[in-house]
Structure 1
Amino acid sequence: MALKNPAKSPFVSNVRLFCVVLCMAVSGIYAGAAENGASPTFDDLTMSPELYTPMEIPGAALPFVPKDGKPLAGLTILLDPAGGQEATADAKVTTATLAADASVLTTGHLYHALVTAGAKVTTTRWDAAPQPLSERSKRVAEQDPDLVLTVRHLPDEIETALPMAQGESNEGLAAEAARMLSKALGFDVQVAVSGKAPVHATVWFGSADETTHAQRLATRGFHREESRALYEAIVAGWKDHNSGAETAASAPPAVAPTGDFRDKLPAWPKLHDGIRSYSRTLWPLARPAETAAEVQKMLEVYQRFVITEPVFFLLDAQVDKTDEGWVLSGKSSHPFLTSATKELMLSVGCDPVVNRMETLPSARLGEKRFGIVRVPMAMTWASARQGDSVQSQLLLGEPLWLLDESDDGFALLVQGGEGYIGWVRADQVTRVAGPEFDRWLNAQKTSVPRDGWAGNLRIPAGARLPLMVDGANLRLPPGALPDIDALAVDQAKSLVGTGRLGKMAAFVAAEFLTTPYVYGGRSRLGLDCSGITSAAWSAAGVTLPRDARQQVLCGQLVATPWHQPDLRAGDVLFFMDPSGKVFHAGISIGGKRFLHSSPPEVQLSSLDPADPLYTALWHKHFAMARRMAE
């Protein structure tokens, strides 16, 4: 099996430079024999269990997501959060400021519930910047929505809200909406409704007591309750007020035939949207596939240009056309890569597909499916033949996730700490089982800033070795030197990673809990998945690239789909979509729990099936986790 090594772009190189951590100089390194002999279970390593214990975050709960079908299908809604003001030097944070932000938070959260229910939704404001009334009124005229919903949190915000639509007020509908909202929220809510095309509703979430009102607006997650109450009122009210529009929308428009041969394939409607899109790009021919060679070429292009970093995610697929059908064989490192390959073949008329792909790691590895580099430096190659296209170089002590081994036992297919996949000589690796590997992986580490020696064993600059419990020695991998398993390092404690930066990043991320998901956002009023990871790590002093597919290039590999140990606070988790692309990121708060921004909000989820915050969807899509700093 051969691996391909795509040309490395200058951008990728620059991204990796962001992730280099400069270490202090070691004043002296010398060899020393372990006093009592090293235990193969690595019980002599310094651990920091507090870094892997989930942080306590009050208010964590699964978000509300509508599950009542598409009751608003075909309707267009314009959300209008009132408020917003220009920044001035003498301005103070007042209830008006909180109220303006509150309206953005509520409408930002509501946006996702309405879209899930089938509505077409836009908004006049996503952030704190004010929008002139002229611009907002222009939006109404251009979009011609069925419903304009203005949300206010102060009475005097009427001056910054859209003027009510012309026409008679609908006092009955307003009273019913106010009753529903007040009952759901436990305080009086005022509603005004007027007009017919569009219907314009203004809702004021207020309180006669300004102090009580300000305290409520400062409470994390208040907008969740308002959003859900508004959603339920809109669904109920629209059925009575505009049932004609809803009835018309219930029948989807007919889709005109495109003339594409794919439209006639039985499997086409069932394929993932991403696969269908890539199929049209990767297969421009106006006919179905005819030969295995042309399908093989399509899969090679898919591997090179669609999969996020092919050096991180392995796909080695072969196609044959036999009497059985189209036979798909080979190996992949993620179930989605296997299923995506099969779906791509179905999308170009390969039917039936006989799937004989193996999802790694291979069962023949047995219990010891992990490894530690036992030599100073070890090259990895594109195949099990030594010297066949260099992939990368591994350093002493580097943890390895084993994927496969050659038939003759000469080489192991491994994924190293930087994420690269390649073949390495088996005699350069000490194989261990999961529990021992986790202790080595999660022990406190010291980075070696310049070459040193233990006898005639080179300790290369850049190697990261675990600190032993005595605080004065670094652990060598088993088998690195006969009768020597430790290094004494002067001032070792000053070089040990403490996990402080990751903990800080996790604390910052926790402040965003319940913030609405806003694509492209990076602020308290709304942010997306890579926005929260980049903002959290930026606060800790580490700059990450903007997008998840770029962030996955940074840091040290610490978890894979087939091995998910407890993560350290601050570790960044990445998720793959069914087309093979990294599409989502989150940040660990320790253990199996992680914070992430996914519609409708920043939420807390878990990879532990026993956790009430567990979601099988994220477990299925998990691709890897990486540690951005020690």
Structure 2
Amino acid sequence: MKNISLIISVLIILSNIIFSQVNPNMEKAKTIIRETKEKFAPDKRVAVFNIEAEQPANKIIIKGETNLPEAKEYLIRTLDGEAIKFEDKIQLLPAKELGDKIYGVINLSVSNIRTNPDHPAELSTQSLLGTPIKVLKEGQWGFYLVQTPDGYISWLDDDGFQLMNEEEWNEWKSSEKIIYLNEFGWAYEKAELNSQHISDLVAGNLLKLISEEKEFYQVEFPDKRIAFVHKNESQKFSQWYQSLNPDGEKILQTAYRFMGVPYLWGGTSSKGMDCSGFTKTVYFLNGIILPRDASQQVHTGELIDTKNGWENLQAGDLLFFGTKANGEKKERITHVAIYIGDGDFIHAAGRVRINSFNKSKSYYSEYRENAFIRAKRILSSVGKNGIEKILDNSFYKYD
């Protein structure tokens, strides 16, 4: 009995010695993982880096998933450089289980993209019919983790898009398309306005062009449904895109079209918009892609001097609101609007509406004036400073 007790004591001592040797490496591994995440994936809205270290039976295992191959390579190289022995169980996305179906195209007029793979989950953002997306993995309840052209990553159910392989995806992108330009409308079963509806449509929807029939375009949806769209409400995408020459006045003309549209958290269409969904949609209809959220849009464009008020602002500039940095408290951008002129701005707040910094106006907003932080000019930054034209974006671009 004494021998057994002695053996157990020796094993405990040896275990503690081994643990004391491994544990410092465990803490070092956690630090390296954290630093790698800060370097490559500081914004979880546009990158997946869910990686952790664990130590079962005194063995370090690095596990999790990321869609950033360069981040994984850097992490492993850094761990090796520190002579940390570990087992690599990191999965690169897209997940292998998807096979070659790692692309897709939005198949509804407006698809709802959520923070979690469940229909009651919070609406994260929306994406419009015809938008190319990338698929990262399959979740529960028919949801897929997807990435939209603005980089946003969240969950979309399989009714909202058509799953594709690379060949199908490139064929969709390279095909001739129409863009729907009315705020609301319909795709019809026949080239007749009184025929059966195939789908509703909203401004910015893209459909493959099949042919022309009198006053209608015959079009194809990503899932191969055939329909007809009236020419008065749409235009060939190539003609529309080539005709674009956005300036402040055109930005405002587009913005005014959405006056009164209700506020919808996560909304990016004429059915309902949040503040950054409004600015994003307005600029998209002028051929320009903005990041999704106000706190992302603020990092793009050209900074405008507003120390003396609104005298340097121009129509179409973006105005950003929130709380300023104070001591250890970081700046927080929570709202965005489009500048009109004379202190006026248009934004989605309850509904798309106009308010003003100008105290002489009946629609002056003291709340917004106090919350104003800075302004950015987008139109002077197309092709730089985080601002892209639609066909310069890698999701829309094709060879």
The normalised TM-score by structure 2 is 0.48
Larger helix proportion, structure 1 or 2? 1
| Larger Rg belongs to | 1
TM-score, with structure 1 as normaliser = 0.32
Greater relative contact order structure (CA < 8 Å, 6+ sep): 1
